[in-house]
Each structure stands twice: as structure tokens, then as C-alpha cells.
Amino acid sequence: MSDDNNSCIYLDYNGTTPIYEEVYESMIPYFKIHFGNPSSTHHYGSAPRNAIENARMDVSKLLNSMQEEDECISIEDVVSGIIFTGCGTEADNLAISLAIKSYKGKEVPNVITTSVEHPAILEYLKLYESRKEIEVTYLPVNHQCLVSVNDVERHIKSTTCLITIMYANNEIGSIMPIPEIAEKIRQYNKHNSNQILFHTDAAQAIGKVSSISIKNVHMMTLVGHKIGAPKGVAALYICRELLTQNNKYSGILLGGGQEKGYRAGTENVAYIVAMGKAASILQQTQKQNIEFFLTLVSKLKSLFLFHLGKDNLCIHSPSIDKCLSNTLSIGIKNIHSGLLLHSIRGKVAASAGSACHSSSSCDHIQISPVLKAMNVPTIYAVGTIRLSVGVNTTLLDVENAVKIIVDEVKSQWKCKKYNDK
């Protein structure tokens, strides 16, 4: 997709997605007509209140549609567990908070996570860790940015209250073995008195993988602006068992008790409606979207290999069956990704890693913590870019973007300014 004003090709769908036109139109009545407070019992509160519940159902239907037949959880149970939040960060924070509050042991609780999680997980855990309220086990990943199921199981302690592992990595696109980890936790909980909760941040996975398993997952984060809704709305799915265990008003925002007490504050009706509409659209289109994404990413990969040569490239993203359908992360030898992206910023919009914490500086080499965790050689790590396609990307966009990037890479090579020393 190119911007009409400056023809900049957008290849950063993992950063955020444009809002679908139908989604935008669905929001308007809740700004202009149905403006009432959904907590109000009078006439003006009924339409907003019903709209929120309809959106909750649409998000639930999307999740349910992505289950394998033998894993299907009743739609009623999914609907009851959808808690709308203001963003994915809040949903992640809420999941961690709920797990810690649910811990019944006398010793300091343990949390298991990976070294490549989103900052919404890592920074919140570090806060609790700094207060000595929890102990955190940070698991490594392999060269494909995948965590080992056996590694997870081996590090479980009698004090472990939470395991939180992202469904798919936002930088590399690697899909974690979530169903297998969930089954290991189920088996552990079956034979032990201390119960471990399992949370996964599925912000990047929804709409980019053919199936999402919520079987044996206690909490799952979903984010609106990753699926065609605006920034400012997300959801945390909480399984029925956990909902019944927790007391009312156990969230991190306390007040009027909205969202079953898990997220107080007057609901952002228009944005919740938008997330529901985006989920409804995605339920109908995700299969063909994924097939289309795979074609585009395959083209990206083949063009880079043809123009730059395999000896000058390090493809970080794993094979198709273990990677998001829309994502390609590559390291280009003897290139500074910050300078590269700065030079093409008006022509191609891409990322050096996660948009939430990438540096815009061109004179300071900052290697992504994810690439460090994967032990990517520095010569490729400093030249890493992430390209992520979406529903509006065209084959022509891909071809033109590669030409622009390749031309700039060859220009940098020619001036030899950033050659490996």
C-alpha cells in the first residue's frame, strides 16, 4: 500500500494496521447518535451497552473460528471471558497482576517468561521483581527465536504461579509452541496442588496464522490496531475457571466495576465497536489473507536473495510452518539498518525491529534484544530490517520496495562507510 500523498510503500503492518473503512463507519454512530453512557439505565445507555456486548460476541466468534474442531470451547465461555482494555500493554499488565493476586503460596511467587517478550511483559515483570514481590525466570530462545517446550517444563518450580509466553514474536515472526506448552501446564496442574496460570500475548498472531489454540490457555491478549481497528482498544480473554476464582474488582484499574470489575472506567464504546467490526471482517477473510501474505513474503525473500545474494543475507524468520504468514526479518551484511531506513523513509515504511522500542538514531548502533537473544552475528544484526505485509499490500508494492531497498544497500556498500571492521 502506498500513501496517496507521497507514494510511500507501507510494509510495517506488525507495527500497526490501517483502519478498515467499514470499521471507521461502524464507529461514527457512537460518537454522534448513541453517545450515552453504557452504565446508564435510561434510554440513551441501552444502545451503547448492546453495542459493547455485540462486539464482545464478534471477538469471541473470531477466536472460536480459529480453534481446531477437537479443541473447540463453547462460544458462551469465550464471550464471558472477553474483557476490553485500552491497549495491549494494559491487557498484558492485567494478566500478570491477576496471576500474582491468585497465588496462594507463602513464598515469593515465580514467573516464567522468555527473553524476547514484548516490553509490556518484561517491564511490568521487572517492576514486581525490583520490589522483590516475584522471582522471574527468563528462558532463552534458539537461533529461530523459538523457546523449547522442555526448557519451560524443566524450569517449573513449586512456587511458579504464571508462565507468560507470546504466541508469535513481533520482530522475527516466530510462532511459539503454545499448544504444547499449554498441555504441559495442564498436566502439571493435574498432579500438583499449586496451580500455574498460562498467559500468551497473541497480538501479532491473530489473522496471520491459520489457527489459534485457547485450549488450556488461561489468559490471552488481543489487540485492535493489529487487525484493522484503531489504536486505543484491546482485550484480555480470561478462561471461565479463572473468572470464577477471582473476586470482583480484581483488576489494575479500580472504580465503577465495569468489565466485570476487571477494567473499571467508562467504556470506550466507539473503539470497542470498531474492534468487534474488525474481528467480524477478519473471521470472513483470514484464510484468503494468509494465502495472500505467504505469496507476498515468498516474493520478498526470493527478490532479496536474487539481488543481494545469499552470502550477504541472514534470514532470521523461520520456515513457513513456524512463522507468521506476513513477516520477513532479514539481516543485510555490512549495512546499518538505522541509516538504511532513514534514507528510504519517504519511499518505504519498514522497521528495524519492534516499533515500540526501535531507535530512530542513525549514528548509534543498537542491536535488538531479540537478535541478541538469538545470537545473530553482529555483522548481520546491525543491518536487520523487518518487513510485514498486509491486506492492502500489492505485488507491485513488494517489487518496488525491494528495488528501493536494494539500491540503497548497494549505495552504502559502494561508499564502504559501514563495512565490518
Residue identified by cell 522442555 is: 150
| pLDDT for 416 | 61
Which of 14, 67, 279, 91 shows the shortest CA–CA distance to 179?
A: 67
What is the C-alpha to C-alpha distance for residues 83 and 257, in angstroms, rounded to an integer? 12
**C-alpha dist (Å) from residue 232 to 84, 89, 122, 235, 258:** 10, 10, 21, 11, 17
**171 φ/ψ sector (left φ>0, alpha ψ -120 to 50, else beta):** alpha
Domain parsing of the chain, residue ranges: 9-17+286-415, 21-279
Instruction: Please give the Cα distance from 155 to 110 (Å, whole number).
Output: 10
Cα gap 265→250, rounded to integer Å? 14
**How much is the pLDDT for 312?**
96
Q: Which residues contact 393 (CB under 8 A, 6 or more apart)?
A: 1, 10, 11, 13, 296
Q: Is 356 a catalytic residue?
A: yes
For residue 388, what is the enclosing H or E element?
Answer: strand 384-388
Distance CA 316, CA 327 (A): 10
Q: Which pTM does this prediction carry?
A: 0.93
The cell for 354 is 519492534
Q: How far apart are CA 135 and CA 109, in angstroms?
A: 6
386: its cell numbers: 523487518
Residue 316 C-alpha from the chain's centroid: 18
Alpha carbon distances (Å) from 160 to 8, 100, 111, 250, 305: 48, 10, 6, 20, 45
Laid out side by side, the sheet with 384-388 consists of 313-315, 327-332, 384-388
Q: Classify strands 219-223 and 82-85 as parallel, antiparallel or unpaired.
A: unpaired
Strand partners, 85: 234
Instruction: Give residue 246's identity as a one-letter amino acid code.
Output: N
pLDDT tens, N- to C-terminus, the chain (421 residues): 655 556 899 999 999 999 999 999 999 999 999 999 999 999 999 999 999 999 999 999 999 988 876 667 888 889 999 999 999 999 999 999 999 999 989 999 999 999 999 999 999 999 999 999 999 999 999 999 999 999 999 999 999 999 999 999 999 999 999 999 999 999 999 999 899 999 999 999 999 999 898 989 999 999 999 999 999 999 999 998 888 776 555 788 889 889 998 999 999 999 999 999 999 999 999 999 999 999 999 999 999 999 999 999 999 999 989 999 999 999 999 999 999 999 999 999 999 854 454 444 445 567 889 999 999 999 999 999 999 999 999 999 999 999 999 999 999 998 865 444 4
Q: Which helix (H) or strand (E) holds 236?
A: strand 234-238
Helix axes 269-308, 395-415, angle to 10 degrees: 60
Are 236 and 91 a contacting pair, CB within 8 Å? Answer: yes
pLDDT at residue 365, rounded to an integer: 63
β strands within 75-159, DSSP E: 82-85, 110-114, 135-139
Of the residues 72, 356, 362, 415, which is catalytic? 356
Query: What CATH number was assigned to the domain covering residues 9-17+286-415?
Result: 3.90.1150.10
Query: In the CATH hierarchy, which top-level class contains the domain 21-279?
Result: alpha beta
Which is it for strands 219-223 and 197-201: parallel, antiparallel or unpaired?
parallel
Specify the pLDDT at position 362.
Answer: 47
C-alpha cell at 123: 517491564
